[in-house]
Structure 1
């Protein structure tokens, strides 16, 4: 693996940076754009990431109109807000029906279009405009996009039924993407955008990952999905690689990173691979952007971090016991450590004499062995893929009875959406909770507020299930009111002390507010600040965590705790 240096890349005109949230897509995209512009190329950088910190990186107020960056005359930057774009798109579809359809129908339509899939469609619409604009093409040598479209979104847009009146006429259920008929006039533009994506001489997909198992798996998934659509020109960038170790914590991190990279799936290994070293500083400001990819790094000043008393997970568990919570969810974006935290909570409750039922989607075979010494904990392992497949088959079997092949293909693609996965797992969770009236149920991975509202609004879940079972399970009917009962249920928001995970958690937080789901506590997981590392790079990074810990303290009204960084192995077996 070679260091990421642009003089080795021979970059194409269009560069798409993609990867799991928090891996550093924006940082690497910005550094790439800055380096190319400094070398004389005319560059446009466009972000469509809803968690983008592009303004922080450039320390410049940005809008959806391209703006020249001071001291980088060859670079122009635009920061599209796909959440706002999605809201505008949603109103363009729902608005014409106001005063015509009943309020309940309008609410149902709005909720269908409040999920991540609609945001992705809106984001694709924004950069498709740029990708197909001839004046933009002629004005710039390189056009860089922070966040590429997902395979699911591209496949959906290529299906004939996405551009027909299928959704207007369909009465058999709802789509996660809402009414795509609002995009009918964009078909040709989208087709041209997808064609450009697949032209290897024009476009390169830059897969950004951390040297960590979860992020590598996500990069593999994105690569596979986009490869199947003909987007074959891909390169892998491993961001945040620790190059040397000089204390026990840095040595553990170094060993873990090397192990995870050595076990990288073959599908990723076939691509050209580059790495960006772990830096001691946050990449904000022009100077740091210019320094990030430079071999010659500034000296790291010795960091003396202030000693701050941080609340711990045990304080959250004590509150769960004092308030007699019966249903406890751990919630957060992938890779933040929800499963590990759920296990720790279950064990702590058990030690306090509580009867505990732990339900998890963690596929690890060793989970039951890990908890074997604690007989009071009953473990339910929900097979995520099995539940999803069973749900998909139920829906498709019903769809095939009345729909054309094109419409079935549309439903089949819609069933690959994140919302479908949550619905399938939610059904399994509901059945477990329904059977566990006399236990504390700790559940790893909660459904988002959007999914709950999608299931609940105007009996949309009943319509969804009519395609399969014909009725809403009693467990679902009972569970939704219980989740809104603060005396009984708590959602623990798990995040990391970094920009993107915190902002993504805030969006989940807003979803739960809309769904009126109880959520008092936050946990900042895997904190380097909470360790006693002496490694100068890690100590400097620990200092950078303080602002995010303080941010969580603010948004949680002081109801938060901090868990120190531990290796994957320790997370599984020590606590």
Structure 2
């Protein structure tokens, strides 16, 4: 097993949260430096832990990595970049425009698109060679720009001065209205991304069905934008040795996922990295990964392990059921099992006799696969279909806001409606309608990965401005009621789902902080897929189980008001019977 090949000047490591992008990016940069290459490692992840992994304090300028000659690293902080971006956009108008106009401009630059574009601004300067750097052979990026950002930059009329003056107004394209001076830099950056001689995109995925589907979706989206030089890196490939039930089930499940890999993804060149029992933090662990050997100071497989907390989902579901109606949302990073937890809660509530709507806002939704074809009285399965919602929304806006426009204005509006953020607004409308169904029963909503979910929640404040622009200010009642409902603890219960690992827990903590700033108090945490709770006797998996303890304890003692710990399931939690068993669990015994 080995790391991806490293030939081009630019290397991007991208994939779902928690699949090991940072670990593989750092190990690859370290290997290049060891081979005598001059390397710059760059993180564009807002929750970057590059400092911790490399054991070097980093900032926004290239910093030499301690004890690794030839390796420099830096963090692009998207939030700080967005703050700088907003100030550059607003500063020229201070003292010139009235205060109300300044507030309007600041509002225009307050959305999630501004954060993406601001981060891309710093990223593009590096990629296009506009940032002064020491002599460098390779630039390794931990987290590439999203297809969302690239689609924004690809809209040709975005560079037109019409955007800043059009009476039709702007929505998500507002942040682009001041970017004309950067057009050449962005064009060079996009050309470099699409040049197979200069750039390789490494799609990092676990050998798991959901992760591979997400990697396939990303691969197709990037290919459609011209970024076709791609490599698949399978991380955490496990081989069972012995007769431990958990180990055998894990190996079998991975093998099945690989056999069912989407054909286009399977056709990509690939590499595989073996399952590591301990986290890849520190240079010694990274060097062990490069050499494909055991990390130093690995935990003793037979050491005593802290007993599992004796609580599962059952008590949480009992409390939810007592309310009789309302909204349950599962939130967290991609890949932590939000869909499984949402489906288990919905099945349990329906089996208690409640009327339940189980729906999702996740573009990579796989609720139907999780439930299989099983039917359960009282449970309705739905999905917010982005394509259908966008088409309906575009038609409505063109009919209402486009009617009085001339040909040029209508063309601009049509392009505005082709942008990715139009999808966010369209899905948001469906999200509000779905939440409204909680008046008559339970709505269990499997939300998309963290950033997408927060974008939906952030949109609650921006939505009224959008509706005013496109629909003459008519605000549907279910939209008007949404934010109060989300903030009402008697109506909404947010379950933050995480794994007992560093990145998912840190991201969940950030999510909790963001929700609280929005006036939404998380109701409980669910620590999913715990090997500590599984009872495994496999030597390698017991090492991983011991490594979970430092993350489980702080969650239970500090982060969560209430929590549940779910064991890694030998039987995949697919289908009503398996989901019901997971939902009714009250805990698991610790291994001896």
TM-score by length of 1: 0.88
CA contact (8 A) 2:230 2:268 kept: yes
**2:164 alignment partner, SS class:** helix
2:525 matches 1:527: no
Q: How does 1:37-52 map to 2 (within 5 A)?
A: 37-52=33-48
Mapping 1:92-111, distance limit 5 Å: 92-94=88-90, 100=97, 110=106
User: 1:407 pairs with 370, 395, 412, which one?
Assistant: 412
The separation in 1 between residues aligned to 2:212 and 2:287, in whole angstroms, is 26
What is the alpha-carbon root mean square deviation over aligned residues? Answer: 3.1
**1:370 CA displacement:** 5.8
Q: Distance in 1 between matches of 2:313 and 2:104?
A: 38
User: How far 1:157 moved relative to its partner?
Assistant: 1.5
1:406 deviates by 6.0
1:503 is displaced (CA, Å) by 3.2
* Structure-2 separation of matches of 1:5 and 1:516: 44
| 1:152 to 1:213, Cα distance in 2 relative to 1, 3 A | same
TM-score using structure 2 length: 0.86
Q: How does 1:417-428 map to 2 (within 5 A)?
A: 417=421, 420-428=422-430
Q: 1:377 to 1:220 in 2, by over 3 A?
A: closer
Q: Are residue 349 (structure 1) and residue 349 (structure 2) matched? A: yes
Counterpart-to-counterpart distance in 1, 2:552 and 2:63: 32
Partner residue of 1:181 out of 172, 177, 183 = 177
Tell me which residue corresponds to 1:565: 568
SS in 1 for 2:358: strand
Q: Give 1:145 shift.
A: 1.2
C-alpha deviation, 1:139, in angstroms: 0.4
Contact between 2:428 and 2:459, CA under 8 Å: does it hold in 1?
no
What corresponds to 1:386 in structure 2?
388
Q: Report the number of matched residues.
A: 564
Work out the CA distance in 2 between the residues paired with 1:330 and 1:369.
20
Partner of 1:296: 293
**Separation of aligned partners in 2, 1:97 and 1:303:** 66
User: What secondary structure does 1:570 align onto?
Assistant: coil
In the alignment, which residue of structure 2 is the partner of 1:552?
555
2:227 to 206, 224, 231: 231
1:196-235 superposed matches below 5 A: 196-235=192-231
Over 3 Å counting, the alpha-carbon distance change for 1:565 and 1:66 in structure 2 is same
* Displacement of 1:276: 0.7
Counterparts in 2 of 1:539 and 1:360: CA distance versus 1, 3 Å: same
Q: Does 1:129 align with 2:118?
A: no
- Matched position secondary structure for 1:493: strand
Alignment of 1:282-361 (within 5 A): 282-298=279-295, 301-304=300-303, 305-322=305-322, 326-360=326-360
Deviation string for 1:60-89 (max 9, x for gaps)? Answer: 211011111121111111112112212221
Work out the CA distance in 2 between the residues paired with 1:125 and 1:404: 28
Provide the residue aligned with 1:538 in structure 2.
541
Q: 1:459 aligns with which of 442, 457, 464?
A: 464
1:475 maps onto 2:478 in alignment = yes
CA contact (8 A) 1:324 1:488 kept: no
Q: Distance in 2 between matches of 1:522 and 1:451?
A: 21
> In 1, Cα distance between the equivalents of 2:301 and 2:251?
21
CA, structure 1 residues 205+356, in 2 after alignment: closer, same or farther (shift >3 Å)? closer
d(CA) in 1 for partners of 2:148, 2:534: 40
Which of residues 508, 519, 533 in structure 2 aligns to 1:516? Answer: 519
Tell whether 2:49 aligns with 1:53: yes
Q: Distance in 2 between matches of 1:135 and 1:102?
A: 35
Distance change in 2, residues 1:351/1:203 (3 Å):
closer
CA contact (8 A) 1:15 1:145 kept: yes
Tell whether the 8 Å contact from 2:524 to 2:560 is kept in structure 1 after alignment. Answer: no
In the alignment, does 2:259 pair up with 1:262?
yes
In 2: Cα distance, 1:485 partner to 1:157 partner:
38
Q: Give the distance between the partners of 2:566 and 2:175, measured in 1 at CA.
A: 43
Quote the offset at 1:135 in angstroms. 7.6
Q: Is the alpha carbon distance of 1:231 and 1:438 closer, same or farther for their aligned partners in structure 2, counting shifts above 3 Å?
A: closer
Structure 1 residues 495-528: Cα deviation after superposition (integer angstroms, max 9, x where no partner): 2222333333334333322332342212122222
- Given that 1:449 and 1:515 are in contact with CA atoms closer than 8 Å, whether structure 2 keeps it comes out as no
Instruction: From the superposition, tell whether residues 354 and 279 of structure 1 become closer, same or farther in structure 2 (CA, over 3 Å).
Output: same
In 2, Cα distance between equivalents of 1:263 and 1:411: 38
**Which SS does the other structure have where 2:256 is aligned?**
helix
SS of 1:139's equivalent? coil
Report runs of 4+ in structure 1 exceeding 6 Å deviation. 105-108, 366-369
Segments of structure 2 that go 5 or more residues without pairing to the other structure are 580-592
Q: Quote the Cα distance in structure 2 between the aligned partners of 1:380 and 1:462.
A: 25
Q: Which residue of 1 aligns with 2:19?
A: 23
Provide the residue aligned with 1:66 in structure 2: 62
Secondary structure of the residue aligned to 2:439 is coil
Q: CA deviation at 1:565?
A: 1.8
